[in-house]
Every structure is written in C-alpha cells, then in structure tokens.
C-alpha cells in the first residue's frame, strides 16, 4: 500500500516545527508563517548521531587546555567588514549576509577577494554564470585576484570541490539556490535551506575554512528565509539601505565572536561599494543655517560615536485623531516622548500630526537620541530653527528629567571634531574631556532645555 509522504510544518519566522498547521506560531507568536515541508530523509548526514566519524578523537576539554593558537583572524581586505566581524573572520566560522534582492550582497562578497589578492577564494554561485561574475569583477576593478568561480547548486558537489581545493575563504551565493538531494523539496524551501546551512556549517567546522553565505530576505520578511538560519550560523550580518539611495548599512545582528552593536556604512558607486569611514560627515547636512524641524543627535553605534540628523514634521491633524509615524525610530518611544512634552512641559501636541525620520535611512535604538527627537519636534512645532552648530546627547525619562548616557566623552569628542560649538547633555553626566571649541551645556529637565534653547 502506498503511504502518503510525511510532512511537517515550519514557522518561517523562528523555525519552530509542528506536526500540524497553525494560524499562529506558538513559539514566536507570528501569524500566518507556517509552511509545509516534507520530513527530512534520515539517510542524510544530518542523521549521523553519536561520535562524528570525521573526528573520532573528540573529547571534552578543559578550558585552559584548549588550543587557541589557530584563532588568528583572517583579514578580508576591507577594513569596515573586518571591524564589523570583530577584527577579521574567524577560521571555520559561517557568516550569513542577509538582505533584500538588489541591495549589493553579491557585489560586497565579490569585492572581498578582489581587495585581498592573496586570499585563495572559492566563489560558488547559483545565481549567475561565471561570465557574468567575471564581468562584474572586471567592473569592480580587478580580475587578477586569486579567486575561482564555481557555478553549482548541488551542495554536496560544492563541498566536495571545496574539500579538494581547501581555499582560504569560501563564498556561497545564495542559500536559496543551493539544494541537497537528501531532501525532496524544491531549492529555497525551509527544509532545503536548513539542510544546506547545516552542511556548510559542518564543512566549515571540520575543515577550518571560513564560509560566507548569502541569503535573500523579501520585503515582508516571509518566505522560507534567513530567519531560521540565524540559529544555525555563527554570525549574521544584515545589509540594508534604501534601494534608491546610494548608501548601504551593514550591521551585525548576531556575532559569536564579537559585538553586535557595530555598524558600517558603504556607498554604492559605479565601480562597486566604497567604504565610508566617517559616516557622521555624510549624515550631517551641509546647510549653513539650521532648518526648523531638525536636530543633530550624537549617538553611539557599538564603539563608535556617530552624529546624524533627526527630522520632525509637526502639523495640525487633518482627521480627528492625530497621526504619529516614525521611520528608523520606535513609534512607541515617540509617543512616550510626546506625552512627556505634553504632561511635563505643557506643550499641547495631542491635536498635531507628528512625523519623525532618522536621516540616511538609519535605524536607531540608542536612548541618547531622545533629546534630539524632542528638540526636532519642538523646533518644527514653533518653526524655530536650531542653530546648525548645536547637537544633543541625552535620554528623556518619564518625569521629564534628562538622564545621562554612556560614553559621553566620546560623543563630546566626536562633536568637537566635526566642528560643533555646543552639545546639550544631562546635568548628571560626568564629562571629563574638554575638547577645544565646544561648550558642554548641562540641562536637568525638559523645561530647562526649552529655556536654554528656545528662549
């Protein structure tokens, strides 16, 4: 009697597995993310249990007996990428670069072997022909590097080739086009993606070859996507930016070997991606006089201070209920700050529409941006321009107090370096540096700030 092929359901958001379909994933609470996939064949290498055949000598080791000597990191030739990874790539690690189609993932990963000519690289592509990759390499200004292009989509063959070549770096573009014949579903499905990533991880750990894996995310984040991959890989880098604009931001959202708070900025030019080592200079507008509705925030991304423009637009609400919308900033936090302005400083904004935008397509979560947000809102509300040589760094509390933020000295130094004349901080902040040309103005609460700024 023919038996029906067994299937299971996966959540595309968190990878949770369930024997039956559910409208809402019980693990992550997302709606409508369950997709059906055949049960994986137990003949594949994933089913190997117990002691691994490849490493029969594996035993628990004491911490102090562990050999750290091979932990030297591999430099990828692009300073900003190395910095994001925490100082280069760790041998045997699996790094996922995720992003929307067309954002520049293939360009970035091809530029790495072109920048670092002595790195023997195996570039596996399932999306383009060798000719296409070659033409792109020429356009990016170099085809004399030590990089081999391999057009293949069967992951077993890819790994076999990589074992034979033992490159210094392997790049796989992209996880959605690779497949394994141990699973029956189509390339790009959840079970294929999981198997391909697990196979690459095993290869990386056993051989010590670092692997960069590229993954597409769709606009709405659905489809069997890199979300479930995040659990498998060592490092997740997200490449984002507005497709129309030329700036791209690479941020680390998971890193087993470094900080996740780092961020790097690139510019897409006619000849590939260019690193922007001083993003503050690009994020700060060039207008001589300040415009109303803008304020400069001194935030910290990981270890690096970054100054950028916060823009607000406050207008009378057309409909009964006022609209609040924020791009790059948490809308709930915006609502909270507006409530503080209303309740603690007496500004009536409840009948006003408020739109907020972080310049350059940034997404911020540093609470130090609060102060610039309320200044931008007030500036737009009163149509009063804040002088362009003033910047802000402080968190706003629920009772309207301005709270100190971490690493204030670095923010003050960066503001001074960029030629700012005044920086507003909390009166509890301990500023120890005194850079030339900048005045540190301390304010205790929102009313004091308004008095100092808009008097």
Residues at the contact surface with ligand TYD, assessed by CB under 6 A = 99, 101-107, 136, 139-140, 268, 270-272
Does 106 interact with Mg ion (rule: CB under 5 A)?
yes
Give the nearest distance from C-beta 119 to ligand TYD in angstroms.
Answer: 19
Three-state DSSP class for 106?
A: helix
Number of residues located near Mg ion, criterion CB under 5 A: 1
148 binds, among ligand TYD, Mg ion, none (CB under 5 to 8 A by kind): none
Give the nearest distance from C-beta 105 to Mg ion in angstroms.
Answer: 5
Question: What are the helix (H) ranges across 226-347?
Answer: 226-229, 279-283, 331-345
Give the nearest distance from C-beta 153 to ligand TYD in angstroms.
Answer: 16
19 binds, among Mg ion, ligand TYD, none (CB under 5 to 8 A by kind): none
Site stretch for Mg ion (CB under 5 A), options 34-42, 66-74, 99-107, 377-385: 99-107
**In terms of CB distance, is 266 or 424 closer to Mg ion?**
266
Q: Which of residues 36-65 bind Mg ion (CB under 5 A)?
A: none
304 binds, among Mg ion, ligand TYD, none (CB under 5 to 8 A by kind): none
**In terms of CB distance, is 106 or 111 closer to Mg ion?**
106
**In terms of CB distance, is 271 or 399 closer to ligand TYD?**
271
Give the nearest distance from C-beta 123 to ligand TYD in angstroms.
Answer: 12
Site stretch for Mg ion (CB under 5 A), options 100-108, 146-154, 292-300, 316-324: 100-108
Give the nearest distance from C-beta 424 to ligand TYD in angstroms.
Answer: 39
136 binds, among ligand TYD, Mg ion, none (CB under 5 to 8 A by kind): ligand TYD
Give the nearest distance from C-beta 409 to Mg ion in angstroms.
Answer: 42
Q: How far is CA 197 from CA 18, 192, 362, 429, in A?
A: 20, 8, 30, 47
Partners of 358 in the β-ladder: 310
Give the nearest distance from C-beta 271 to Mg ion in angstroms.
Answer: 17
Q: Tokens at residue 55, please? A: 């490493």
Site stretch for Mg ion (CB under 5 A), options 102-110, 118-126, 132-140, 380-388: 102-110
Distance, CA of 252 to chain centre: 5
Residue 174: asked if its preceding bond is cis (omega within 30°), the reply is: yes
Site stretch for Mg ion (CB under 5 A), options 98-106, 193-201, 399-407, 432-440: 98-106
Cα–Cα distance measured from residue 422 to residue 379, given in angstroms and rounded to the nearest whole number: 17
DSSP result, 172-240: EE-TTT-B-TTS-SPTTSHHHHHHHHHHHHHHHHHH---EEEEEE--TTS-SS-HHHHTTTSSEEEEEE
Please name which of 85, 75, 100 lies closest in space to residue 251, comparing C-alpha atoms. Answer: 85
Three-state DSSP class for 448?
A: helix
101 binds, among Mg ion, ligand TYD, none (CB under 5 to 8 A by kind): ligand TYD
Give the nearest distance from C-beta 135 to ligand TYD in angstroms.
Answer: 9
270 binds, among Mg ion, ligand TYD, none (CB under 5 to 8 A by kind): ligand TYD
**Shortest Cβ contact with Mg ion: which residue?**
106
Give the nearest distance from C-beta 107 to Mg ion in angstroms.
Answer: 8
378 binds, among ligand TYD, Mg ion, none (CB under 5 to 8 A by kind): none
Cα–Cα distance measured from residue 112 to residue 78, given in angstroms and rounded to the nearest whole number: 7
102 binds, among Mg ion, ligand TYD, none (CB under 5 to 8 A by kind): ligand TYD
Cα–Cα distance measured from residue 348 to residue 364, given in angstroms and rounded to the nearest whole number: 26
Hey, what's the torsion of the CAs at 133, 135, 138, 139, to 10 degrees?
-100
Cα–Cα distance measured from residue 146 to residue 177, given in angstroms and rounded to the nearest whole number: 24
Cα–Cα distance measured from residue 101 to residue 177, given in angstroms and rounded to the nearest whole number: 13
**In terms of CB distance, is 16 or 106 closer to Mg ion?**
106
**Shortest Cβ contact with ligand TYD: which residue?**
106
Q: Tokens at residue 229, please? A: 């991959």
**In terms of CB distance, is 215 or 258 closer to ligand TYD?**
215
Q: Tokens at residue 164, please? A: 């034979």
328 binds, among ligand TYD, Mg ion, none (CB under 5 to 8 A by kind): none
Cα–Cα distance measured from residue 455 to residue 440, given in angstroms and rounded to the nearest whole number: 18
Please provide the distance, in angstroms rounded to a whole number, between the alpha carbons at the two ends of the chain: 86
Q: What are phi and psi of 15, to 5 degrees?
A: 85, 5
Count CB-CB contacts under 10 A for residue 370: 26
Q: For tokens 């592509």, what's the residue? A: 125
Cα–Cα distance measured from residue 171 to residue 150, given in angstroms and rounded to the nearest whole number: 10
**In terms of CB distance, is 108 or 233 closer to Mg ion?**
108
187 binds, among Mg ion, ligand TYD, none (CB under 5 to 8 A by kind): none
Q: What is the DSSP letter of 437?
A: T
Give the nearest distance from C-beta 287 to ligand TYD in angstroms.
Answer: 27
Torsion sign across C-alpha atoms 434, 438, 443, 446: negative
Give the nearest distance from C-beta 100 to ligand TYD in angstroms.
Answer: 7
Footprint on this chain of Mg ion (rule: CB under 5 A)? 106
């Amino acid at each position: 009697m023919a038996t029906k092929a067994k299937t299971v359901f996966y959540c595309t958001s968190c990878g949770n597995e369930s024997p039956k379909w559910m409208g809402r994933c019980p693990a992550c609470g997302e709606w409508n993310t369950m997709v059906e996939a055949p049960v994986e064949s137990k003949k594949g290498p994933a089913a190997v249990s117990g002691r691994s055949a490849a490493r029969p000598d594996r035993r628990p080791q004491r911490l102090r007996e562990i050999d750290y000597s091979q932990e030297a990191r591999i430099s990828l030739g692009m300073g900003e990428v190395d910095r994001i990874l925490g100082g280069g790539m760790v041998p045997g690690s699996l790094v996922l670069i995720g992003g929307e189609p067309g954002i520049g993932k293939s360009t970035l990963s091809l530029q790495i072997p072109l920048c670092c000519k002595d790195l023997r690289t195996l570039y596996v592509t399932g999306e383009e022909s060798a000719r296409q990759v070659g033409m792109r390499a020429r356009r990016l200004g170099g085809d004399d590097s030590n990089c081999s292009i391999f057009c293949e989509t069967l992951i077993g063959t890819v790994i076999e080739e990589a074992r034979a070549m033992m490159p210094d770096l392997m790049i796989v573009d992209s996880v959605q086009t690779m497949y394994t014949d141990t699973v029956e579903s189509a390339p790009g499905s959840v079970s294929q993606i999981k198997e391909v990533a697990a196979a690459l991880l095993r290869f990386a750990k056993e051989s010590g070859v670092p692997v960069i894996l590229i993954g597409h995310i769709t606009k709405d984040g659905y489809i069997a996507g890199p979300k479930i991959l995040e659990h498998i890989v060592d490092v997740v880098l997200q490449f984002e930016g507005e497709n129309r604009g030329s700036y791209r931001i690479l941020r680390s959202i998971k890193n087993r070997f470094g900080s996740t708070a780092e961020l790097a900025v690139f510019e897409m030019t006619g000849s590939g991606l260019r690193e922007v080592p001083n993003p503050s200079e690009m994020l700060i507008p060039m207008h001589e006089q300040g415009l109303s509705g803008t304020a400069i925030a001194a935030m910290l991304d990981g270890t690096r201070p970054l100054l950028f423009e916060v823009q607000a637009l406050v207008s009378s609400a057309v409909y009964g209920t006022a609209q609040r919308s924020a791009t790059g900033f948490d809308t709930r936090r915006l609502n909270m700050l507006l409530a503080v302005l209303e309740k603690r400083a007496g500004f009536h904004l409840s009948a006003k529409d408020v739109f907020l935008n972080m310049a350059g397509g940034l997404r911020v979560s540093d609470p130090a941006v609060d102060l610039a947000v309320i200044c931008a809102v007030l500036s737009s509300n009163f149509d009063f321009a804040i002088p362009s040589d003033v910047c802000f760094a402080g968190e706003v509390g629920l009772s309207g107090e301005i709270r100190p933020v971490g690493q204030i000295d670095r923010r003050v130094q960066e503001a001074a370096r960029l030629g700012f004349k005044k920086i507003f901080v909390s009166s509890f902040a301990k500023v120890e540096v005194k850079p030339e040309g900048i005045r540190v103005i301390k304010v205790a609460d929102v009313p004091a700030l308004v008095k100092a700024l808009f008097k």
